[in-house]
Each structure stands twice: as C-alpha cells, then as structure tokens.
Chains A and B, each alone.
Chain A
Amino acid sequence: MDNNAPKTTSRYGWVATLAGVYLVILYMALCAVASTVGYDNRQKIPFLAGTYPTPTATVVPTPEILAHRPGDYGAVRFVDFTYGLNDWRLYYSKGKVEAVDGKLVLQSNADGYVAIAGNQNLILPGGKYYIQADLITDIDTDQAYGLVFGLDNHLANYYLFEVVPRIGMFRLLKHTQAKWSELVPFSPSHGTIKSYPEVNTLSVYFNNGEIGLFINGKSMASYSDKEPFQFVGVGGFVDNFGFRLIMDNFFAYNDK
C-alpha cells in the first residue's frame, strides 16, 4: 500500500496541474471577452458611461403646417386649447371632451360608442379648406382615432380620416345619414404612422370633393368624392371606449 500511494498521487497531480493550467488560460480568455463586451457596451452601462438615463417626454417641435401650406398665413386659425374649449363640443351621446393643460382630451364613455369633438366655426363655407392636428393617445391602444371633417350639426353626415398606429394603417370613411362608405380602404402607411407614444400629425386638404390625406406631412392618399359634403364642422374622434385621445395644435384655413 505504502509503495503504491506516491505513484497514484503523482499521476493525479499531473492531471490536476494540466487542468489548472487550462483553467488559467480559460480565465484569461474570459477576462478578454468580458473587457471587449464591456467596452462595446460602455454607453449602455451607467457607471462606465458616467451618466444615468433620465426619462424624457415626447417633444413636439414648434407647431407648423406640414402639408399644403397656405399662401396667406393670416387666414390660418390656430387652436391650442390653452384657454379652454370655447365653441368645441361633444358629438354622440356617451363621451367627454375636456381641455387639460392646453390640450383637448376626448373619450368615449361606453363600449362600442364613437365620440367626436367638433367645431363648426373654424371653417367657412366655400368648399376648399385644410385642417391639421397633433394626435396622441394616453395609452397604447389597438383602436382607431383621427380627424373628422365635413361634419354637419346633426351628426348625420361627415368624413372620418382614421389611423390605427398599432398596425400602422389608415383609411377614409364617409358617414351619410346612418350609412358608412369606405372611400379609402385600410392601407399600410409604410412606417409613416408613428407608434405610441409618438405624436402623429394628421392633415386633410378638401377641395370640393377632392380629398388629400396627409400623415406627419407626407401625402398618403387622395380620393375624389363626386357627391361631396359642404358642411364645415371639423374635429377629432375616437372610435371606442377605453382610451383618451389628446389633440393639440389644431390648424384650419379656407383656401382661395
């Protein structure tokens, strides 16, 4: 027994030494890899970057007309809701329209009910006008929202330009009495519609039935309505209950 013992010790010692040497090499390689990963991601690691991230609000640049700029800016009516709603009103019988911190806030109060916040005094009769507004929702939603135009006072006739940011689609609808027509079917925006919580600026140019649709200043579609509405109500809408639409920087002007 005593004679065999040193032999066994020597054999295992050699294996252990070799394994130890490999281990040292592996640790050195690990340090090299860790250093490389750390260096490549130094901006993402607060103590390496030297700064800590702070939450930032979505900033809307100085409001301006993004599409179809008027020849005469003096004719442009601009509403930022700082001084309340004045002659803006709720259409449909289940909803709420408020002005909070200089923004119009619209919601439907019942599942399956549309709510519209509209104004009959921004556009003059004449058949040629442009509207634009910054729109965002309070939560991420798969519901549609957008602009309403050609709205009469009795909510019988109007156009809806709606977007669904969750799926990046838009369309144009026409409501005549109690009937809906899809003038422009759901179409992909190819990345033009920004996802929540980004603001989307929607615009419509209406010229006696020639309707141009714009999203974030980019022309998306046009449609020629042979039986156009001449009503002058304009505003924003939500197509269902469960979220709030925040609308700001509403531009409107009559074109010559």
Chain B
Amino acid sequence: MDASSKKKTSYTPLIVVMGYLLFFALVLILCLASYFLNYPLQAAPKNIFATSLPAATPSPHVSSTLQSGYARIFEDNFSGNQNDWMNIQGSQNSQIKDGKLLFESLRQGKYEIATCIHCPSLNEPFFLQADIGTDTLTDKNFGFVFTMNCRCASGYFYAFEINPEHKSYSFYYHYQDNWSLRMVGESDQIRSYPAVNTLGIYANKSSLEFYINGKIVDSYQESGAPYQIGLFGFYVDDSGFKLTAGNLIVYKAGGQ
C-alpha cells in the first residue's frame, strides 16, 4: 500500500504535465496549419509556354568528337576547281588558289555569293563547316549562305555572317531582294584579321546552331523554316575585299 502510494505520487503529475506539453504542441501545430492553409507558401508563378522556349544558353549538338563519327555529304579542299565554283551575281568567277577559294563583290554596296555547280542540294540535318578569312582588313560582313532555293540572286536564302572587326555575328533571311535581320550578337570567339575563323552551322528542320572556332555561340528557331533543305555557299556583303575559304566539309548530322 505504501509502495503503491509512493508510485502514484511520483508519476501522476508527470503524466499531467506531459499531457499539457503535448496539448500546447498540438495547439501550435493547429495554428501553423491554419495559417498556411489560408496564406499558403506559393511557388513563384511561371509562364508555362516559357518552359518550351530554347535555353538562353544553348547546348551544342556538335562537338569535334561527334564530327568524327558523322558521314560526310560533301567536301572540298580547293586543290582544284573540280566542283565548278561560280559567283551568282555573275560579276566574275571565283578563283581557286593555294588550296583556297577566293571571291569578291565587284559592285560597291552589293553582296556576292559563291556556290558550286557540283555542290549538292541538302535535304537532311547537316553540319556545314569551313575556314573563312579575308585577304585584307575589312569592317564588312562575310560568312555562309544556306537554304538557297536556286543558284540565282533573286531567290531566298539565309545568311550567317561574322564581322571580325566588331567581333559580332548576325543572321539574315533574304527573299526577293528584301533582307530580314533576325539576330545580332557579339562573341569573343571571333578572331580579328589576319586570323582565319572556322564557322559552323548545324541545321535540323527549323532549328539552327551557330559555331565559331569550335564553340557554339548561339542558336535559333523559326517554326516551319526548312533550314536543312537547299543549296549553300559563301557570302560577302560588299566590295573591297576578297573572302578566302578552305576546308569546306558538310556532314550528315543526324537528328530526327
């Protein structure tokens, strides 16, 4: 009886105190639950469409290791003019000299494009690459054209150009003597004259990636654009200098 009384005296208040502590804990939980149910912690709102936009920093589909596994669609090391290079504005024919293609615009303020009779018309995802420079210092643009619908000046094509003096690149759409600027950016990847720049373009349906000296500098998308289809060539946007091009290679780049 004495032992039982002692036991009762030592545990009952403790149980009651624990009960109160538990009660206050439950009250606190209930208060917090009530608060957050009425004032929920909301995640930052998000534009759902924005999640389908291309990444602000593009990730490359093409690397030097991948290139070695690609099949080559076309190549020209300009050891001779076996592919019959020509200027589409007809000012004069392109020249092949010392393993390079040389051409220029002979009309001030007018562009010129060099393409070849035996260059294939592309119709699948490709990676187009060449070493491109100039014979003299210039602040004019030059580069690649692609998706050409004809070897003529009146058709449509896209032009990826660089300007080594400004370390800038640009992307245009040309149609029926109209030019539509689509993109302008700057990149430290572009080397100044007299250095040669290796330009690359990856085209897959309506998506493009632009490479300068082995590094991706930008990407581009246009719903419905047939970037992987058509002829290609080299481009200068004015007279006063000659473009020099070497090691032209077109890879079959895979894709869907």
Contact = CB atoms under 8 A, between A and B. Distances in A.
B69 interface: no
A102 interface: yes
Interface stretch (B42-50, B79-87, B244-252): B42-50
Contacts of A103: 49
A19 B222 contact: no
A18 to B, nearest CB: 9
A100 interface: yes
Given A6-B5, A20-B19, A139-B47, A98 B224 contact: no
A142 interface: no
A100 B221 contact: yes
16 contacts: A16-B12, A30-B26, A37-B33, A41-B38, A55-B48, A57-B49, A83-B224, A85-B180, A93-B184, A98-B182, A98-B220, A100-B52, A105-B53, A109-B184, A109-B186, A140-B44
Given A16-B13, A26-B23, A196-B47, A89 B224 contact: no
A99 B180 CA distance: 14
A45 B37 contact: yes
B225 interface: yes
Interface in A1-50: 2, 5-6, 8-9, 12-13, 15-17, 19-20, 23, 26-27, 30, 33-34, 37, 41, 44-45
B2 interface: yes
Given A30-B27, A90-B184, A197-B47, A13 B12 contact: yes
B20 interface: yes
Interface string B18-46: 01100100110010011001101000111
A99 B221 contact: yes
Given A83-B224, A100-B54, A30 B30 contact: yes
Contact of B222 (A16, A27, A98, A244): A98
B16 interface: yes
A244 B179 CA distance: 23
B152 interface: no
B37 A99 contact: no
Contacts of A225: none
B185 A5 contact: no
Nearest to A121: B178
A136 interface: yes
Interface residues of B, number: 49
A13 B47 contact: no
B23, B49, B184, B221 — which one has the most chain A CB atoms within 10 A of its CB? B49
Given A94-B184, A98-B221, A197 B16 contact: no
Which 8 pairs from chain A and chain B are nearest by CB? Answer: A138-B50, A57-B48, A197-B47, A89-B180, A96-B183, A41-B37, A83-B224, A16-B12
Given A99-B223, A101-B223, A197-B47, A87 B180 contact: yes
A159 B173 CA distance: 26
Interface in A113-148: 136-140
B9 interface: yes
B150 interface: no
A33 to B, nearest CB: 7
Contacts of A101: 49, 52, 223
A99 B13 CA distance: 74
B54, B222, B225 — which one has the most chain A CB atoms within 10 A of its CB? B222
A8 B5 CA distance: 10
B8 interface: yes
Given A57-B49, A244-B53, 11 more contacts: A16-B16, A17-B12, A19-B20, A41-B34, A56-B48, A81-B223, A87-B175, A90-B182, A100-B52, A100-B53, A138-B50
A26 B20 CA distance: 9
Contacts of A109: 184-186
A12 to B, nearest CB: 6
A58 interface: yes
B175 to A, nearest CB: 8
A253 interface: no
B185 A96 contact: yes
Interface string B198-228: 0000000010000000000010111111000
